């Protein structure tokens, strides 16, 4: 800043303000490493001199505006009304001309003073320059105008118009046109949409490739961000295929649902039908964050502003990274038949899972949000979670807008004026020069308003801006060495979240930037135009577009552009006109296309809007996109971006055009960040550009590097072409590399540490031992005093380090009961802790506290199950890749959570149970009875394992009888590993990995040949029957392996998943089935009563598979008594501790029953099934007794505080609970029909029945005599 004599006194502090001008990126040209992989070559920086870079393009642009004097009021801010050539941020700052201030005076401030508690006054002061009164519904709360709202309201603050661009309001019409058949709501008529699709949209033989699939993913994400038309539930249009159809059978019908109508529309010609937009219209990343408060809350972690993620180490990556969480929180998602919503990713838009390329963009933005949270927290340590989250939302939308600028430039060639500022399209449309149209404008900008309102997404844009020709058939999945692992069919990636995780973001993104997509005029990929099934029915993406155009009453091609050519009221007609097609020959120079038009349409005015755009052969000046398509799509998109009050363009000019740098008052959180306060006594409100955030938003290059950075800063991809939207080209689009993260040689570090430690011990072992002892005692005393001071519950301490872990291993129930006796038996403080090695488990029994855990289960804001699983070695038990993706659970929940599938697999269970009992009878054929002096446990375990193996593996399980012993041994190893989880610190968990790896490798030897055989059989079936063939096992029964092979391509991983599912089945049945049998025979005469109820039809209904429905309960069912006895046994055989969760709150968690008592984060909150299920409050005075008829007239509410054996109600309730019930009922029926039992003793109490270990319950053995049941 140049200082005059009058300003020297007041601006002494200004001279110390120096903005960094170094080019903010360290990018290098590549060199090949020893493996041939490209890495950064430090000898070849991008510009040769990293201190200069390519210059400050933002400064160049601002300098042109100032020096030309075309923006009112801009020259007067700078000394001599100009800026030097090639100005840096320093130059801009040094040339600001402040007003003269008398010595010892302070410059008057604007706005006038107001109370900070009056947000309405504050809003009026900061936004008083707007040309209309503000809506007080928005200004009453600062959160409504300082940040973005979730639903997009209050972006446009004009009084009475706060809903402009908001979620849930009707879409606009570009020119107010409604062309319904009846003028009200009936769809516009036209030729058969499938015939139109076949005529004009088939994939062409010659394709022109100019962009990468990354562009496809970006277009999809942008469209999902600004528009979503949900389907009407009861209105649809059936489209039969035409008589000359070649791809579908002639009896095929496409059913296209109409779009949801806006309430109270479609009642008259004066009030025609409108369609609701279920997304916000602003480029606010609502696809990431959600367009409603409810969805947004479910996607937040509420820690440091970050979004929820799951951390996965994908194949080929060096470390775990963030992926979208699976939908355990229940946000709305679209899916296809056979895929449960819980098996898909949770995102802000229901269409999140439509394909992997868009998911790649979504995942990068998720990681970018959380990365930006870390940056903001470091820069603004005083910000809390809410401030970080809301501010980063604004930063992310600013970045996304700048990325959108880079995206729209992908369609343009060289321009006769600057095209890097995002406004070449407007210059073409109006015929104006770059000096007349530039982004240095105040908000609101009249050029982007329509009749005084902002440009918001229109119904026409939502239909035309789909660019279906960009869709590819396949794209490569590439590893870190750029080798193609496989070519992935894009259509097959729809609603396949687990496959996305398995493939890995990096491998997917490498493929999307290393291949090409078709250009305009290429036609639509047949996998999407002639899909056999999409969401369960035939599908043609073009048919959907044409039907939606007509059923929404949109104009035809000629009707739309006749209105366009006239221009908006109060504005000049556009310079670029679109000729009206008076003849069919005006649509196309191709005689075949003209012939098809004449065959299908009566006259040119009937030609659909999307068809006319498809046939348009004129390219917009200086662009590579057809004129008509560009006008409806990109022109509207850019207008919408510049109608946004939070636009980065307006924010960057706030203190130049609205305020001045020496008296700057930001009006939202984005402006607050971009304009950094500058200490100055004379000008207390002085601000200037914050160089850190300007560089972070890539202002030096108008955002042209943000896509490259989005990938390289959020993945392990370090080398990427400069513009990822275009294919690699050594000259025009070279490969540029970032420096990889520095690495540490762990082996060297460990060996050095060991040497140093041993040397110290040899020399000073007495002092070291004494010091360690003193430290341990001090820490113990401190923790004890600190815990009491912070309100933590009392803890059963036990031994040093181990606590009560050894006792808990031997008798978990005794330890839990000791706590209840010692600490009040559920009276205040109603919870106590048990110290188990590295964690303290807080036992919760008060119903109010139990309910708080259940209420949190869908969200896991306070209590987290996955973190608990990590603590008890579940990643080792299930293999890390399966645990991270949760694929086993999603498969079980999807298939065994379906009533029809469970009933069908019940046939497999019944056949397997019959086979086992016939080949392994409880009583030998030569005898009428047999005494089991050691009890029935061993036999029942074999019975369970055999049936589970058949259900999960298939008939091949019978060929491998050794599987039974293998699984029983595997189960014993699992018990040991779970036990180690309570004894070993997490860094020693590798010890538990050894036996697990050994077990999995044994199973692979058995299962890999079976899987290879299955895949070969499936291939033959597909070849014989076509693509519709399904995976079946060859007999008349289904098995779970078929479901696994249908989604998992890697044979080794499939073998591991088969192992896991058999073990889970064994685990769930091992105590529940055995307890059901032993409890039944413990009550004299009960087995006969149950057998009688099963063998004699009740009210004419037989106890067979057709009447067994584990998903519902019917009193009259012949299975009712057996099911009631089963639930009672399950109630009483729950573990001493569990279900449990890690306390994941970011701060001490107050108990619902007594807020003065706190639970510390990072420890375990556990319920006790044993204790809760025996509480008189839950089950009456006989709660501790076995009552087989307790659930005869009312089934237990699984997951409620009264019945927690299968977990808490919510997304993590045991997914195999219906399978377990089906198996117990079927297997018990088969046993009771064949045998009678006589135990050595009856009327057993709890102590005689159960043994409780860490997480495991077993039955105590009792001798039993088994008799053959007489016919």
Tokens 């899909």, residue located: 531
The residue that leads in pLDDT, 1219 or 763, is 1219
> Which range, 75-84, 266-275, 873-882, is most confident?
266-275
Q: Residue 933: give its domain's CATH number.
A: 1.10.630.10
Average pLDDT of the residues in 355-369: 97
Is residue 394's pLDDT more than 80? Answer: yes
Q: Per-residue pLDDT tens for 1017-1062?
A: 877 765 555 433 333 334 468 999 999 888 888 898 899 889 888 8
Number of neighbouring beta carbons within 10 Å of residue 302: 17
pLDDT at 788: 56
Which strand ranges, in their side-by-side order, compose the sheet holding 38-45? 38-45, 27-32, 735-738, 719-721
Mean pLDDT lowest among 677-686, 697-706, 763-772 = 763-772
How far, in Å, CA of 163 to CA of 159, rounded?
10
918: left (phi over 0), alpha (psi -120 to 50) or beta: alpha
pLDDT at 620: 73
**Does residue 782 belong to any structural domain of this protein?**
yes
Mean pLDDT lowest among 160-164, 328-332, 361-365, 837-841 = 837-841
How far, in Å, CA of 245 to CA of 543, rounded?
14
Closest C-alpha to 137, from 119, 110, 116: 119
Determine contact, residues 457/222, Cβ cutoff 8 Å: no
* 182 secondary structure, DSSP code: T
Counting other chains too, the contacts that 992-995 makes at CB distance below 8 Å and 24 or more residues apart are: 992/873, 992/876, 993/876
Is residue 195's pLDDT more than 70? Answer: yes
Is residue 798's pLDDT more than 90? Answer: no
The residue that leads in pLDDT, 529 or 861, is 529
The residue that leads in pLDDT, 226 or 1100, is 226
Residue 768 domain boundaries: 744-789
Closest C-alpha to 506, from 323, 352, 707, 722: 323
Tokens 């009856």, residue located: 1242
**Does residue 27 belong to any structural domain of this protein?**
no
209 forms beta bridges with 518
Q: Kindly compute the dihedral angle of the four CA atoms of residues 1046, 1051, 1053, 1054, in this order, to the nearest 10 degrees.
A: 40
Is residue 410's pLDDT more than 70? Answer: no
Is residue 635's pLDDT more than 50? Answer: yes
Average pLDDT of the residues in 924-938: 93
Instruction: Note the residue count of the chain.
Output: 1271
Q: Domain check: are 1035 and 888 in the same one?
A: yes
Residue 909 CA to chain centroid, in angstroms? Answer: 36
CA distances from 219 to 648, 708, 820, 1266 (A): 20, 17, 60, 70
Domain boundary among 766, 789, 812: 789
639: left (phi over 0), alpha (psi -120 to 50) or beta: alpha
Is residue 682's pLDDT more than 90? Answer: no
Burial label for 571, CB within 10 Å (0-12, 13-18, 19+), is middle
Query: Taking each helix axis from N to C terminus, what angle separates 541-551 and 193-200, rounded to the nearest 10 degrees?
Result: 130
Alpha helices in 1083-1142 (DSSP H): 1086-1095, 1120-1132
888 is in an annotated binding site: no
Q: Domain check: are 881 and 778 in the same one?
A: no
Find the largest Cα–Cα distance for the chain. 119
Q: Domain check: are 1188 and 1048 in the same one?
A: yes
Q: Domain check: are 907 and 769 in the same one?
A: no
pLDDT at 734: 92
pLDDT at 797: 84
How far, in Å, CA of 79 to CA of 97, rounded?
5
At residue 719, the 3 state secondary structure works out as strand
Average pLDDT of the residues in 218-224: 90
**Does residue 1013 belong to any structural domain of this protein?**
yes
> Which range, 121-125, 803-807, 1163-1167, is most confident?
1163-1167
Is residue 221's pLDDT more than 90? Answer: yes
SS (H, E, C) 185-224: CCCCCCCCHHHHHHHHCECCCCCCEEECHHHHHHHHHHHH
CA distances from 121 to 1025, 1135, 1247 (A): 73, 60, 71
1140 forms beta bridges with 1166
**Does residue 239 belong to any structural domain of this protein?**
no
How far, in Å, CA of 1174 to CA of 489, rounded?
55
pLDDT at 636: 78
pLDDT at 767: 56
833 forms beta bridges with 795, 842
Tokens 């639903």, residue located: 151
Determine contact, residues 944/971, Cβ cutoff 8 Å: no
Number of neighbouring beta carbons within 10 Å of residue 39: 18
How far, in Å, CA of 1116 to CA of 1093, rounded?
11
How far, in Å, CA of 225 to CA of 281, rounded?
7
Average pLDDT of the residues in 1239-1266: 90
**Does residue 12 belong to any structural domain of this protein?**
no
Which run of H or of E encompasses 1042?
Answer: helix 1040-1047
pLDDT at 208: 63
Strands 795-796 and 831-836: parallel
DSSP labels for 578-638?
-----SGGGT-S-HHHHHHHHHH-SSGGGS-HHHHHHH--PBPTTBSSBHHHHHHTHHHHH
CA distances from 708 to 49, 512, 704, 720, 1023 (A): 20, 13, 8, 7, 43
Mean pLDDT lowest among 68-77, 173-182, 201-210, 707-716 = 201-210
Number of neighbouring beta carbons within 10 Å of residue 594: 17
Average pLDDT of the residues in 684-699: 91
How far, in Å, CA of 424 to CA of 432, rounded?
10
The token duo for 1208 is 């808490």
Mean pLDDT lowest among 79-93, 746-760, 790-804 = 746-760
SS (H, E, C) 419-469: CCCCCHHHHHHHCCCCCCCCCCCCCCCHHHEECCEECCCEHHHHHHCCCHH
Q: Domain check: are 764 and 909 in the same one?
A: no
**Does residue 1045 belong to any structural domain of this protein?**
yes
Strands 831-836 and 1140-1143: unpaired
How far, in Å, CA of 316 to CA of 339, rounded?
27
Q: Per-residue pLDDT tens for 636-657?
A: 777 888 889 999 888 988 999 8
pLDDT at 729: 86
Mean pLDDT lowest among 24-28, 44-48, 215-219, 1136-1140 = 24-28
The token duo for 159 is 């009084």
How far, in Å, CA of 466 to CA of 200, rounded?
16
Average pLDDT of the residues in 281-304: 95
How far, in Å, CA of 108 to CA of 100, rounded?
12
Q: Domain check: are 785 and 883 in the same one?
A: no
Closest C-alpha to 998, from 978, 972, 980: 972
The token duo for 319 is 């470390």
Q: Per-residue pLDDT tens for 314-323?
A: 888 999 999 9
pLDDT at 13: 30
**Does residue 943 belong to any structural domain of this protein?**
yes
Q: Kindly compute the dihedral angle of the four CA atoms of residues 983, 988, 990, 993, in this order, to the nearest 10 degrees.
A: 0
Q: Per-residue pLDDT tens for 1101-1133?
A: 778 888 888 887 666 688 999 999 999 999 999
The token duo for 873 is 């070695």
pLDDT band at residue 270 using 50, 70 and 90 as cut-offs: very high
pLDDT at 827: 45
The residue that leads in pLDDT, 475 or 531, is 475
Tokens 């367009």, residue located: 291
pLDDT at 1125: 95
Is residue 881's pLDDT more than 60? Answer: yes
Q: Domain check: are 983 and 1119 in the same one?
A: yes
Number of neighbouring beta carbons within 10 Å of residue 799: 12
Q: Domain check: are 917 and 775 in the same one?
A: no
Q: Indicate the number of domains in the chain.
A: 2
How far, in Å, CA of 890 to CA of 310, rounded?
15
The residue that leads in pLDDT, 1232 or 570, is 1232
How far, in Å, CA of 1029 to CA of 787, rounded?
63
DSSP E strand boundaries for 402-466: 449-450, 453-454
Is residue 51's pLDDT more than 50? Answer: no
pLDDT band at residue 9 using 50, 70 and 90 as cut-offs: very low
Is residue 463's pLDDT more than 90? Answer: no
**Does residue 895 belong to any structural domain of this protein?**
yes
The residue that leads in pLDDT, 670 or 440, is 670
Query: Taking each helix axis from N to C terminus, what angle separates 1051-1082 and 1086-1095, rounded to the nearest 10 degrees?
Result: 120
Determine contact, residues 656/77, Cβ cutoff 8 Å: yes
pLDDT at 16: 32
The residue that leads in pLDDT, 14 or 615, is 615
Domain boundary among 768, 789, 810: 789
Dihedral pair phi/psi, residue 918, rounded to 5°? -80, -35
238 forms beta bridges with 255
pLDDT at 1083: 95
Average pLDDT of the residues in 669-687: 92
Average pLDDT of the residues in 1087-1100: 80
Number of neighbouring beta carbons within 10 Å of residue 925: 6
For the chain, give the mean pLDDT: 83
């Amino acid at each position: 800043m140049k200082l005059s004599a009058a300003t020297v006194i007041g601006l002494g502090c200004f001279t110390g303000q120096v903005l960094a001008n170094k080019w903010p990126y360290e990018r290098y040209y590549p060199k090949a490493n020893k493996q041939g992989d490209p890495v950064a070559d430090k000898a070849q920086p991008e510009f040769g001199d990293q201190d200069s870079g390519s210059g400050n393009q933002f400064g160049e642009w601002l300098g042109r505006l100032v020096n030309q004097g075309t923006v009112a009021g801009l020259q007067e801010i700078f000394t001599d009304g100009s800026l030097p050539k090639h100005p840096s941020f320093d130059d801009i700052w040094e040339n600001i001309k402040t007003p003269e201030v008398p010595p010892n005076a302070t410059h008057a401030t604007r706005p006038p003073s107001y109370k900070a508690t009056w947000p309405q006054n504050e809003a009026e002061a900061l936004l008083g320059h707007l040309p209309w009164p503000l809506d007080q519904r928005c200004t009453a709360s600062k959160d409504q105008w300082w940040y973005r709202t979730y639903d997009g309201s209050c972006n446009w603050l004009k009084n009475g118009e706060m809903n402009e661009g908001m979620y849930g309001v009707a879409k606009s019409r570009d020119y107010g046109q409604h062309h319904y058949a009846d003028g009200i709501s009936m769809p516009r008529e036209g030729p058969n949409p499938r015939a139109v699709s076949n005529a004009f949209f088939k994939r062409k033989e010659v394709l022109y490739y100019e962009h990468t699939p990354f562009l496809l993913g970006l277009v999809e994400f942008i469209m999902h961000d600004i528009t979503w038309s949900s389907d009407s539930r009861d209105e649809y249009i059936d489209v039969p295929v035409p008589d000359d159809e070649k791809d579908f059978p002639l009896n095929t019908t496409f059913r296209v649902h109409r779009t949801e109508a806006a309430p109270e529309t479609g009642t008259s010609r004066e009030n025609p039908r409108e369609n609701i937009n279920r997304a916000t219209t602003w480029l606010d990343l609502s696809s990431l964050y959600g367009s409603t408060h409810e969805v947004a809350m479910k996607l937040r972690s509420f820690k440091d502003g970050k979004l929820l993620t799951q951390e996965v180490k994908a194949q080929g990556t060096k470390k775990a990274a963030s992926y979208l969480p699976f939908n355990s929180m229940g946000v709305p998602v679209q899916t296809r038949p056979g895929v449960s919503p819980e098996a898909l990713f949770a995102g802000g838009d229901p269409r999140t899972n439509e394909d992997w390329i868009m998911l790649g963009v979504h995942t990068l933005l998720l990681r970018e949000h959380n990365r930006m949270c870390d940056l903001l927290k470091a820069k603004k340590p005083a910000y809390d979670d809410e401030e970080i989250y809301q501010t980063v939302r604004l930063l992310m939308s600013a970045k996304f807008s700048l990325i959108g600028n880079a995206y729209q430039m992908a369609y343009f060639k060289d321009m006769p004026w600057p095209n890097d500022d995002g406004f070449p399209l407007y210059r073409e449309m109006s015929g104006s020069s770059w000096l007349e149209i530039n982004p240095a404008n105040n908000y609101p900008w009249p050029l982007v308003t329509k009749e005084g309102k902002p440009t918001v997404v229109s119904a026409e844009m939502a239909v035309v801006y789909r660019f279906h020709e960009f869709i590819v058939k396949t794209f490569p999945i590439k590893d870190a060495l750029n080798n193609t692992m496989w070519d992935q069919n894009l259509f097959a990636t729809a609603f396949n979240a687990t496959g996305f995780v398995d493939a890995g973001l990096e491998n997917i993104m490498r493929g999307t930037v290393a291949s090409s997509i078709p250009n305009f005029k290429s036609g639509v990929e047949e996998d999407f135009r002639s899909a056999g099934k999409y969401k369960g029915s035939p599908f043609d993406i073009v048919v959907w577009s044409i039907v939606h155009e007509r059923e929404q009453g949109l104009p035809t091609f000629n009707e739309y552009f006749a209105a366009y050519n006239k221009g908006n009221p109060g504005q000049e007609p556009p310079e670029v006109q679109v000729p009206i097609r008076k003849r069919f020959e005006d649509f196309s120079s191709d005689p075949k296309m003209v012939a098809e038009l004449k065959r299908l349409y009566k006259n040119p005015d009937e030609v659909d809007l999307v068809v006319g755009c498809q046939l348009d052969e004129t390219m917009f000046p200086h662009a590579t996109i057809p004129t008509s398509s560009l006008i409806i799509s990109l022109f509207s998109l850019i207008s919408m971006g510049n109608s946004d009050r939070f636009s980065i363009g307006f924010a960057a000019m706030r203190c130049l055009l609205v305020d001045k740098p020496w008296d700057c008052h930001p009006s939202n959180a984005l402006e607050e960040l971009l304009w950094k306060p500058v200490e100055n006594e004379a000008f207390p409100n002085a601000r200037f550009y914050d160089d850190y955030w300007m560089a972070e938003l890539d202002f030096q290059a108008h955002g042209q590097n943000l896509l490259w950075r989005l990938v390289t800063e959020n993945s392990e991809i370090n080398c990427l072409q400069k513009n990822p939207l275009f294919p690699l080209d050594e000259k025009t689009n070279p490969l540029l590399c970032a420096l990889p993260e520095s690495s540490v040689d762990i082996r060297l570090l460990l060996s050095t540490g060991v040497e140093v430690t041993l040397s110290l011990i040899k020399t000073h072992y007495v002092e070291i031992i004494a010091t360690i002892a003193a430290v341990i005692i001090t820490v113990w005393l401190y923790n004890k005093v600190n815990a009491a001071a912070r309100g933590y519950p009392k803890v059963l301490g036990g031994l040093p380090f181990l606590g009560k872990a050894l006792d808990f291993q031997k008798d978990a129930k005794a330890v839990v009961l000791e706590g209840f006796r010692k600490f009040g038996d559920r009276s205040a403080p109603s919870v106590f802790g048990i110290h188990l090695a590295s964690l303290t488990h807080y036992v919760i029994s008060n119903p109010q506290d139990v309910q708080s855990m259940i209420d949190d289960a869908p969200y896991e804001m306070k209590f987290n199950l996955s973190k608990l699983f990590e603590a008890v070695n579940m990643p080792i038990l299930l293999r890390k890749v399966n645990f991270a993706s949760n694929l086993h659970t999603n498969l079980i929940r999807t298939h065994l959570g379906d009533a029809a599938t469970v009933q069908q697999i019940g046939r497999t269970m019944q056949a397997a149970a019959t086979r086992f009992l016939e080949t392994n009878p409880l009583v030998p054929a030569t005898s009428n009875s047999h005494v089991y002096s050691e009890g029935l446990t061993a036999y029942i375990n074999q019975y369970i394992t055999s049936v589970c193996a058949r259900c999960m593996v298939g008939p091949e399980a019978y060929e491998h009888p050794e599987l039974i012993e293998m699984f029983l041994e595997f189960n014993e190893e699992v018990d040991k590993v779970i036990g180690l989880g309570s004894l070993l610190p997490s860094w020693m968990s590798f010890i538990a990995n050894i036996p697990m790896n050994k077990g999995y490798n044994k199973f692979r030897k058995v299962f890999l040949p079976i899987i290879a055989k299955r895949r070969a059989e499936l291939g033959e079936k597909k070849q014989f029957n076509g693509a519709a063939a399904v995976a079946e096992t060859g007999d008349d029964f289904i098995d779970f392996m078929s479901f696994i092979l249908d989604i998992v391509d890697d044979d080794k991983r499939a073998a591991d998943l088969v192992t896991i599912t058999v073990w889970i089945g064994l685990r769930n049945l091992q105590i529940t089935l055995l307890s059901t049998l032993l409890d039944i025979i413990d009550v004299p005469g009960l087995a006969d009563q149950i057998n009688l109820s099963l063998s004699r039809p009740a009210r004419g209904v037989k106890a067979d598979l057709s009447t067994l429905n584990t998903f519902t309960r019917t009193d009259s069912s012949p299975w009712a008594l057996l099911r009631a006895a089963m639930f009672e046994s399950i109630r009483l055989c729950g573990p001493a501790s569990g279900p449990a969760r890690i306390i994941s709150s970011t701060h001490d968690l107050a108990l619902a029953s007594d807020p003065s008592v706190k639970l510390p984060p990072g420890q375990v909150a556990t319920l006790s099934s044993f204790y809760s299920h025996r509480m008189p409050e839950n089950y009456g005075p006989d709660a501790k007794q076995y009552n087989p008829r307790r659930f005869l007239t009312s089934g237990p509410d699984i997951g409620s505080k009264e019945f927690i054996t299968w977990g808490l109600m919510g997304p993590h309730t045991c997914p195999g609970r219906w399978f377990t019930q089906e198996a117990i009922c079927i297997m018990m029926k088969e046993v009771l029909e064949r045998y009678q039992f006589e135990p050595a003793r009856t009327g057993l109490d709890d102590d005689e029945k159960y043994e409780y270990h860490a997480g495991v319950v077993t039955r105590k053995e009792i001798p039993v005599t088994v008799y053959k049941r007489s016919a």
